[in-house]
A and B are shown apart, each in its own frame.
Chain A
Amino acid sequence: MPEINVTPLGAGQDVGRSCILVSIGGKNIMLDCGMHMGYNDDRRFPDFSYITQNGRLTDFLDCVIISHFHLDHCGALPYMSEMVGYDGPIYMTHPTKAICPILLEDFRKITVDKKGETNFFTSQMIKDCMKKVVPLNLHQTVQVDDELEIKAYYAGHVLGAAMVHIKVGSESVVYTVSVNKYAKSHISAWIDKCRPDILISESTYATTIRDSKRCRERDFLKKVHETIERGGKVLIPVFALGRAQELCILLETFWERMNLKAPIYFSTGLTEKANHYYKLFITWTNQKIRKTFVQRNMFEFKHIKAFDRSYADNPGPMVVFATPGMLHAGQSLQIFKKWAGNEKNMVIMPGYCVQGTIGHKILNGQRKLEMEGRATVRLLISFALTKRLIHVGKLLACVFCFHTLQLDVKLQVEYMSFSAHADAKGIMQLIRMAEPRNMLLVHGEAVKMEFLKGKIEQEFSIDCYMPANGETATVTTNPSVPVDISLNLLKREMALGGPLPDPKKPRTMHGTLIMKENSLKLVSSEQALKELGLNEHQLRFTCRVQLQDPHSDPDTLHRIYTHLKSVLKGYTIQHLPDGTVMVESIVIKVSSSAEDTNAKVLLLSWSYQVKHRHCPCSRLSKLGQKHNRLKT
C-alpha cells in the first residue's frame, strides 16, 4: 500500500521552528523552514542532518514551501539553502516573498551586529536565497514537476499567509498555518472541499475558543478614545508586522468614523517598509479593505503619520505606535519613560510579553520600575530628589547601584489581546470545509494537542496524529489508479448494458489492461493484440464423455443432435455436414473406439470465452453425463 510519511523536524508537539517533511507519492517536500526564537545555539534551526549527513539537500528534496513570513516559519531558509545547500525551488506567495527578506535581514542584523555572532548567514546569502524563490498566486495550480502540483489558498493570520494543497496523483496533503476565520480584521480564509489524505494544521490555541473580535475592538477603541478626550497620550507598543497594521486600520477607520482630529504616529523604520508592502498587496486583504479600495487604499493612511523623536514632547493628545512590542528596548521604551509619569496617559499592550521585560512587569501591576540608565550624573541628582532616598545611609547603599533609576508608573496600563492564531473552533471549521481523511497537528503544546486530537476523533471520526520532532507519522492511502479506457470499448459496453451508467453501482466489463511506461490503458483484446504485435491464441477446452451406444457414429451424433434440440431451447444448434454438432460455439464430435464399437467417445470442445459466458457448456457436459446414464 502506498503511504504518506510526515516527519516534523521542528514544531512537532512544540511551538516555533516550524519545519515539516512530507514524502508523498515518492516526492519529498519540506513545509516551512523556521527558526526557534527561544534558543541561540544550534537548536535554533531544524536539524537538517536528519535528511542527509553531508552533501546538499537538493538531491533529497523536491521543493520547499513557505507558508508565511513569520520567522518561526521562514527564519532558517537562508541557512538551509545557502549554508547547508539547496538549489531546488522554494515556493511562497508574493507578499511573503516581499516581506520575508526584510525580516530575515532584521533578524540577521540583531544576531550578527548586536549579539556579535559569527558563522551566520550574510545579507548576500539572503539575496541568493530569495533568487531561488518561485512566487505563488492564490488558487493557481503550480506544477512542480510532472506529478507534483501545489495550489495555494488564502489562510487567515497575516498578509500573504497561505494554505497549500499538495497533490501527487490522487494523494494529497493540505498544510495550513493558523487559519482564522473570525479573529482578524483584514484577512479572510477559505478552502475547497478537496478531501486531502492528510490535513496538517497548526494547533497553538487548540484549547481556546475566543470571544468575538468586535467586543475586543470596541474595548480597545473606547479606551483610546477616552484617553484622547481627556487630553492624554496613548502609547501602543507593537511588533512591526501584522498586528501593527491591523491596529492601524482599526484606529484609522475609527478616526474617520468619529471625525477625530488628534494625530496618530507610527514609528519609522521597519514598519514603514512593511506598510508599503501592505499597500501593494491590497488585493490580498479582507472585504472591508477591498471595498474601500475603490475610494482609496486603506493603507494609504490619512490620519497616521510617521513619528519623529521630537514629537513625543509635543503637548496635546496623540497616539503613537512604537516598536518593539514588549517595551524592552528601543523607541517604545524611550517614549514610555517620557510618558510614564502622567496619569492622563495610557499604554496599551496589544500582545503577549515575555517574563523579564518591562511590558511584563507593568502588566503585572508593578508601579515602580528600576531602569538601567546611562547618564549616571543625572541619575544621582534625580536620586537625591527622591524623597525616600534623602536618608544618607540609604543614599550610601544606593551608590553601589547608582546606574539604576526608579521610575514611577502613573500612566494607565491596559492589556488587549489580539491574537492572530486560529482557535479550536477555527480548526474544526477548516476540517469541516476540507473533509480530510486524516488529521495531523503540529505547532502546539502536546497537552493541548491531546485535547484537540480527542475532539477531532470524536466529532469527525477520523484519525488524528501528533508526531513529535523526528518522529514519523505514516498514513497509508488507498489511491485510485486512473486508467485510460478506449472509447470504442466503452461504447461497446454501453450498447450491451442499460441506457445510463449508475454512478453508485460498479459494473464489470471485459478488456485488456496494458501497462506501458507508467501509463495504464484499458482496451479491447483485439486492439491490444494489434498494439502489442502478438498473434491471437485460441484456448480451447475439451472434454471426453464416454457413452455406450450401439448405433453407428453418425446415428449417435444425430440422436444427440435431436436430443439437444429438444432440451436446449433458445440456443442455435446445427448439425454440420462434416460430422459435428455445433451448439453456439461448442463443438461436439462422436468417435467410436477401436476395441468396442458400442463405447462411443463424445468429444466436447469449447473456447475460453465460452467458459466465462455462462453458456450452455456446463449444462451441456452435465447433459452428456445424463445422456450417458440414460443410455447405459
Chain B
Amino acid sequence: MAAHLKKRVYEEFSKVVQVTHEEAPAKKLRLSKPSKSAALHVDLCKASSSTDALQYLLTFSRKPVEAESVEGVVRILLEHYYKETDSSVRLKIASLLGLLSKTPGFSPDCIVDDAINTLSSEKSHQVLAQLLDSLLVIGSQLPESPAVRLRLIEVAYKNLSDSSFGVRTKCLQLLGCLGLLEAPLGKDSDGPGPSLAAMRDVQSIISDYFGDQDPRVRTAALKAMLQLHERGMKIHQIIYDQACRLLSDDYEQVRSAAVQMVWVLSQLYPESIVPIPSSNEEIRLVDDAFGKISHMVSDGSWMVRVQAAKTLGSMLQVSPHFLEQTLDKKLMSDLRRKRTAHERAKELFASGEFSSGRKWADDAPKEKLDTNTVNLIASGACGAFVHGLEDEMFEVRNAAVEALCQLARSSPSFAEKCLDFLVDMFNDEIEEVRLQSIHVLRQISTHITLREDQLDTVLAVLEDSSRDIREALHELLCFTNVSTKECIQLALLELLKNLNKYPTDRSSVWKCLKFLGSRHPTLVLPLVPELLSTHPYFDTPEPDMDDPAYIAVLVLVFNAATSCPTMPALFSDHTFRHYAYLRDSLSHLVPPLRLPGRKQVYGLDSVDCGSGSGSVESAQLFLQQSLNRVSTIQNLEAAGAPELLDLTIRDLQRLGELQTELAGAADFCATFLRCQLLLMKALQEKLWNISVPLILKQNITVTAAAQQVLDESYKLEFLYSGLENRQVATIHHVRLQAKALQLILAARTRHGLDSLISSCEKFLQDVESFQRLFLTELPHLQDSFVEKLLELLPRLSSCKPVEQVKILQTTLRQSGLLQLRLPEQIHRATATIIEPTGESDNPLRFTSGLVVALDIDATLEHVQDPQNSVKVQVLYPDGQSHVIHPKPADFRKPGPNRHRLITQVYLSHTAWTEPSQIEVRLLLAYSSSCSSRLGWTDAMDSLHPAEGTVEGTIPFSKHVKVFIMPKPARR
C-alpha cells in the first residue's frame, strides 16, 4: 500500500514538473500584460484527466486574480464546466465562481446569467448546492440590484423542492439573505413570471420548511427566518406557534435555533395575547415565550441550555409574576414539604438565633404535602434558574448567572429574591462562575442589602487563594449595603483576616474599608470604642502605626467620621496624631475631617475641601486663561516671554497637582510650554553671531536643549491619550523646530560637508512628510515656522546646504509661538508600581547563575494597548539594564482606561559580595510608525522607507528599588 502511494505521489509530482516546464512561455506573456485567463485556459485545455484539472484548479485558486481579468477567467471556467463530466471538478469550479466574484473591484453582475444557467443542466446535488452557495455570494455582492435579486430568489424557489438536503439548505439560506423585505408592488413591476413568484411571501415559504424531514433543513429554515429578521423584516406572528413546536424537536441544533426564533418573536410581539392550550385562559406572548424558553433550561443538550439561559436574560418585558417563578423550588422528602436551606437561613435570621447547625435533622421535613399539588416536572418558568444554576456544565451556570444579572438590574424586587441564589454561586466549583457571580452581585448591589447570613457566605470567599476573586469581592464590598453593625464588624474581621493571610491585598483592603466606612457611618459609630480599643478610664497602649491592620481600622473609622461629627469625640489623643500622619501619607484613603480644636489642620484642609466640587470649572477657566496669556507672546524672541512662560509653567504644574481631573491637560500644557521655553532660550542666546570656536561651550547647552525638546515631543505625542490631529500636528511642529535647531548646530560645529548634505536632505524629507501628514491642519498653523518654511521650500531645496542652514536660522528665529488648543479630554498615561514596595530590607537571595522571580504588580492608567507598549525595565547596579516584555495575559482590565499588570520578571546576575539594590520601572514603548494612526496605507509607507520609524521608550513610572543578593554557587 505504502509503495503504491509513493508511486502515486511520484506520478503526480512528475506531472507537476511537466506543467511548470510548460508554463515558462506563459510567464513571458505576463511580463507584458498579466493575464490569468490565458494561463488558466492553457492549463485546463491541457488537463488530460479530471484529477489533473482539479489539480490545476486547486493551484489556481491559491493565487489572487486581478479584478479586470475575472470575467475572462469565469468564462473559461464555465466553458470547461459544461465539458466536464466529473462532478468533483464541477464542484471546484462552482466554488471558484463564488470565490472569484468576491474579488475586490469586480462587479459580478455580468456573470449572474451564466451562473444561473449552469444550474439548469446540473444533476449532482452537491454541485448544485455549491452553485447556489456561489450565487449567494454573488447576490450579496450586488445589494443594489433588485433585478438580480429577483432572479436569484426565483432560482431558489425552483430548487427548494430538490430531494437533497444540501440544496434545500442553500436555497433557504439564499432566501434568508436575499429575500425581499417588502413584497414589491405588483403594478410597478409588471414583469413576467419570475417576479410573480418572487412576490410570494418569503416568510410563508420559508416556514413551510419548518416541517421538513431533514433536521438540517429545519435548522436552515429557522436560520433563514432569523436572517430575515436581522435584515429588518417583520416576522409574522403566525410563525410563533410553529417555532414553539420546534422547541421539542429531536435535534439540538433545531431546538437551539427555535429558542432564538421564539425569543425574536417575543420581542416583536410582547403584548399580544396567546391562548394557553387545554384551558381557556390567555396570557401575553412574552410571558408564554418566557415560560417555554425557561423550560428549555432543563433540555438534554447543554448547548441548548446555554442558549436558553442566555436568552432569558434579555426578556425584560416579562411580567414579575412569571419572573419570580423562575426561582421557585419546592423540596420534599417522603412527600412532606421540606424547607430549603435558604428559607431556614432566613428564618433563623428572623428569629434572631444564630445558625446552630448542630441539631440533628433540623432540616427534617414538616408538613405533609398534597400529592396533587406537587409539580415534578417543572412546567413553564417554574424553577428555570434553579435548574440553570445547578447545571453540571459551568457554561450553563455562567449563562444563568448572567441572565439573572440582566433581569435583576431591571427589577429590584427580583434582585432581592435572587440574592440567595447568587450568594450561593460564590461557592461554585469553577472559578469563572464564582468570579462572574461576584461581578453580577456588584452590578445589582444598588438594589440590595445583604443580610448577615448572606454576608457571612460572601465574606467566606475572602480567603480564596485566587487574587481575582478576592479583588472582585473587595470591589463588591465597596458597593454593598449591609444592615447591622454586626455585619460591619464581621466584614472588618474577615478583611483583617484576609490582610493577614494575603499581605499583598493591602491597598485593595484599605480601599474597601474606606467605602465601607463612608457608606455606613451610623453603623460604625457604636463600634468605635471597640475598634480603637479605647477605655473610659484607662489609657490603652498606643497601637503600632505601621501595622496594616491598624491602618485598616483607622481608614474605616475616619471615613465613617466624615459624615458623623460626633465620632471624633471618641478618639483618643494618639488617634488624632495618627490621623494627621495618615492624612498626609495616605491622602487618597483618609478624607479631611473637621476635628475640634484643630484649627490649623482645618484651615489647611479647607483648600482641599473647596477644590472638591465646584472648582473644576474655575480650574478649567484658569487653565484657559493661562494659555491665552501665553498666546500673547508674538515670537520666540519677544522680551519678557521667558519669564511669562516660566510663571505659567509653574502655575500649570501646581494646578495639575490640585485638580486631578485636569492633571493630564495641565501637565500636557506645561510640558509643551517647557519645550517652547527651551527653544526660546536656545535661540535667544546672544551668541549666534559670534564666530564658531568661541561659542563651543554655549553650543553644548543648546545641543542638550534641542535633544531635550526632541525627547519631550515624543513624550507629548505618546504619553497622552485623547489627542486630536491638531495637537499631534503641533507636537510634530515642535519636533521639527528642534530638528532644525540641531541641524543648525551641526552646521556650525561639524566641518564635514557630506554629513551636512545628508542631514539637510533628511530634514527636508521631514518637512515634506510633515506637510503630507498634516495637510488638513496647515491652515491652523499660520505664521508658524512650518508655514514660513513651506513658503521657502522651493528655494530651500534648490540652494546649497550652507545657505539652507542660514535660511533655517532666520526663519526659526522669526517664527511665532504656536498656540496650543486643548482637546476635550486629555490624560497622561501613568503607572504605579504597587508591588514590590521597595521598603523591604531583606534582600532576595538566590544562587548566582540561576534566576529568581520577582512579582510585579502595577496599575496603569490611560494606557492604550498596554499589551504591546508596556515593558518592564530592570537596572542592575553595574549599569546593565534588561527590558522585559510581559505576556499579554498578565494585563487585566479592572476598569475603563485602567489596566493592571501582574507579572513576574526573572532576575539573574553573577555573584555579588553583598546585597545591593536594583531598580525596576515601567517603560512605555513607542514607535513613530504608529503615528500612522492618521490612516496611512501600506503603499504610502512603502514609498517612503527612508522615513524610518523612530522607536524608543519613555519611562512612565517611578522606579522601585529592590534589594537582591546573588550568592555564589556552592560547589
Contacts and interface: CB of A to CB of B under 8 A. Distances in A.
Given A258-B463, A428-B376, A433-B300, A211 B161 contact: no
Contacts of A193: 250, 300
Interface in B315-365: 329-335, 338, 340-342, 357-358, 360-361
Contacts of A448: 334-335
Interface stretch (A66-74, A319-327, A410-418, A506-514): A410-418
A258 B300 contact: no
B341 A211 contact: yes
Interface string A475-517: 0000000000000000000000001100100000000000000
Nearest to A415: B360
A208 B342 CA distance: 18
A120 to B, nearest CB: 36
Contacts of B427: 214, 217-218, 221
Interface in B810-834: none
A448 B389 CA distance: 28
Interface string B364-394: 0000000100101110000000100110111
Contact of B361 (A190, A216, A415, A425): A415
A424 B341 contact: no
B911 to A, nearest CB: 34
Contacts of A452: 376
Interface in A167-192: 181-182, 185, 188, 190-191
A215 B341 contact: yes
B85 interface: no
Nearest to B340: A211
A410 B961 CA distance: 55
A221 B332 CA distance: 24
Contact of A214 (B338, B360, B424): B424
B390 A500 contact: no
B298 A429 contact: yes
Contacts of B330: 209
Interface in B952-970: none
Contacts of A455: 371, 374, 376
B392 A259 contact: no
A207 B333 contact: yes
B301 to A, nearest CB: 8
A207 B332 contact: yes
Interface string A196-228: 000000000001111111111111011101000
A451 interface: yes
Contacts of A387: none
A188 B392 contact: yes
Interface string B451-473: 00000010010011110000000
A524 interface: no
Contacts of A102: none
Most chain B Cβ neighbours within 10 Å, of A211, A253, A415, A428: A211
A212 B425 CA distance: 11
Contacts of B376: 209, 424-425, 428, 452, 455, 459
A619 interface: no
B424 A215 contact: yes
B428 interface: yes
Contacts of A364: 360
B213 interface: yes
Nearest to A288: B429
Contacts of A288: 394, 429-430
A613 interface: no
B391 to A, nearest CB: 8
Nearest to B301: A190
B501 interface: yes
Given A181-B392, A212-B389, A253 B429 contact: yes
Most chain B Cβ neighbours within 10 Å, of A214, A287, A499: A214
A375 to B, nearest CB: 31
Interface string B182-221: 0000000000000000000000000000000100000000
Interface in B562-608: none
A214 B338 CA distance: 17
A211 B338 CA distance: 9
A536 B191 CA distance: 58
A363 interface: yes
Contacts of A412: 358
B34 to A, nearest CB: 48
A286 interface: yes
A337 interface: no
A259 B464 CA distance: 7
B333 A208 contact: yes
Interface string A338-376: 000000000000000000000000011100000000000
B360 A363 contact: yes
A188 B302 CA distance: 12
Contacts of B163: 499-500
B392 A500 contact: no
B107 to A, nearest CB: 36
A222 B424 contact: no
Contacts of A459: 376-377
Contacts of A414: 357-358
A225 B456 CA distance: 13
A454 interface: yes
A190 B331 contact: no
Given A188-B392, A211-B340, A287-B392, A451 B335 contact: yes
A256 interface: yes
A288 to B, nearest CB: 5
Nearest to A219: B357
Contacts of B501: 259
A382 B628 CA distance: 98
Contact of B332 (A181, A209, A218, A500): A209
Contact of A258 (B329, B331, B464): B464
Contact of B429 (A181, A185, A415, A454): A185
A622 interface: no
B954 to A, nearest CB: 39
B161 A500 contact: yes
Interface string A289-315: 001000000000000000000000000
Nearest to A434: B300
Nearest to A425: B376
A214 B390 contact: yes
A138 to B, nearest CB: 16
Most chain A Cβ neighbours within 10 Å, of B357, B376, B389: B376
A215 B298 CA distance: 20
A257 interface: yes
A273 interface: no
A43 interface: no
Given A207-B334, A209-B332, A218 B161 contact: no
Given A259-B501, A448-B334, A503 B377 contact: no
Most chain A Cβ neighbours within 10 Å, of B338, B340, B377, B501: B377
A245 to B, nearest CB: 15
Interface string A573-596: 000000000000000000000000
A412 B213 CA distance: 64
B216 to A, nearest CB: 15
Interface string A50-91: 000000000000000000000000000000000000000000
A378 interface: no
A132 interface: no
Nearest to B337: A209
Nearest to B378: A425
A182 B389 CA distance: 10
Nearest to B252: A193
A218 B386 CA distance: 17
A454 B463 CA distance: 48
A223 B457 CA distance: 12
Given A193-B300, A259-B465, 6 more contacts: A182-B390, A208-B333, A212-B389, A219-B357, A288-B429, A432-B377
6 contacts: A208-B332, A208-B334, A257-B465, A258-B463, A288-B429, A425-B378
Cβ-closest 3 pairs across A and B: A215-B341, A259-B465, A433-B300
